[in-house]
Amino acid sequence: MRTHPLRQQVISEVHARPFQKLYSPLSMIHIGVVIDEQTKLSVIQREVVNLAHEMGLFDAPLASFFFCRNDVCGLRFEAHNEFYTLTAYRFGSTELPTGFQSRIANLQGAFLCGCELICASEVEDVDNWVRSQFDHQIVGSELMGGYAKVWTDFHHRRDSGLTRILVQDISLASYQRGRLLQRLCEIEVYRHMALLALPEALRAMPRITHLDQTLAQVSARLSTEEPADLLDELTSLASSVEALAAATANRFSATEAYFTLLDKRIEELREERIEGLQTIEQFMERRADPARLTCQSAGLRIEKLSKRIARTSQMIRSQVDLSTEQQMRDLLRTLSGRARSQLRLQAKLESFTVIVVTYYAFDLIERSLRNTIQVEHMLDVALYILSGAVPMIALLLWLYIRRMLRGIDDE
């Protein structure tokens, strides 16, 4: 027995991105960065390792995921297909990590979103603490069966450009705390990644409408114009739709996947409503679902338009095939008429053929008799009998010719 070459990779994948064991109080800065097509992951990994060294963390490996820490701070790096996340931790304090945003300014990629997360267990005046942190409508709920509370406004702050999230730790266990904080960070990233398709969907909608109207016009002209004349126009329309589908399919598929992850992360929070506040789930249903439905609608319209073009193309091809079959039928009918005319002409010539053949048969028999019968009296009698047999010879030849042509006449 030999070891499967992917065994270790499969085993490691289950434990590739574990939750951290964290304690209150602490603060975090979590950012999501979109990876440019020209940027290599290896370059990003080296830059993140250098960042860890600047923070005094010298055990950071060159990998697609790592978490390293000391007693004061920590750094978590996680690479995905089209983005990566960085999380800076400050342990034992609700003061945010200092200098982190200036250190990441030169990292590769396009900054998309981020959040400032403060987790505290002992707060003297919770209401005043929450109100002092936000300038917009607050969203909040109890989490994990009442073991924690969360508040946010999902607005980017003017000073940092990041969303602030407050967590009151009531009685969370260390790994529960790590899972909860990671889920909140993922909600922030996934909602932004999911909405990347919205501008593309809004740009595509007018073009989809134009293509839809063009197809309707082509379909309406099927009854008045030759189908073959519309094939070029329909082919051009189909190529435009397929080009649009190819340009948007990946983004729309990714958006649907991100929305699914977003729903899953919100479900895992096990929210319970705080009187007077929207929950995170209610906020997303109110604010993010319209964008989700717009992206879904754009994708479905492109798919349905492609199917309608295929049906119209099939209809035109059917009409062209019917027209071709009609032309072939007319051609065969013409050839059949010509064959029948030839047979009728041949029938009219049969009488002349019988006369000619009878003449040659009579002449051949007469010559044979003259050369074989030497007695003049007997020759006269034979010629007399031959002359009387001419009608019989003609009848026999006519019957023979009719028998030969009987199969041809039937065909």
- Give 164-195 as a DSSP string: EEEEEESS--HHHHHHHHHHHHHHHHHHHHHT
How high is the pLDDT of residue 17? 74
Nearest to 114 by CA among 183, 19, 186, 20: 186
Stretches in the chain below the pLDDT threshold 50:
none
How high is the pLDDT of residue 385? 79
How high is the pLDDT of residue 190? 95
User: How far is Cα 135 from Cα 81, in angstroms, rounded to an integer?
Assistant: 35
Stated pTM of the model: 0.76
How high is the pLDDT of residue 168? 93
Nearest to 268 by CA among 374, 198, 189, 180: 180
pLDDT in tens, 126-161: 888 888 889 889 999 999 888 999 999 999 998 888
Side chain identity at residue 343, one-letter code = L
Q: How do the residues of the chain divide into helix, strand and coil, expressed in percent and rounded to 5?
A: 60, 15, 25
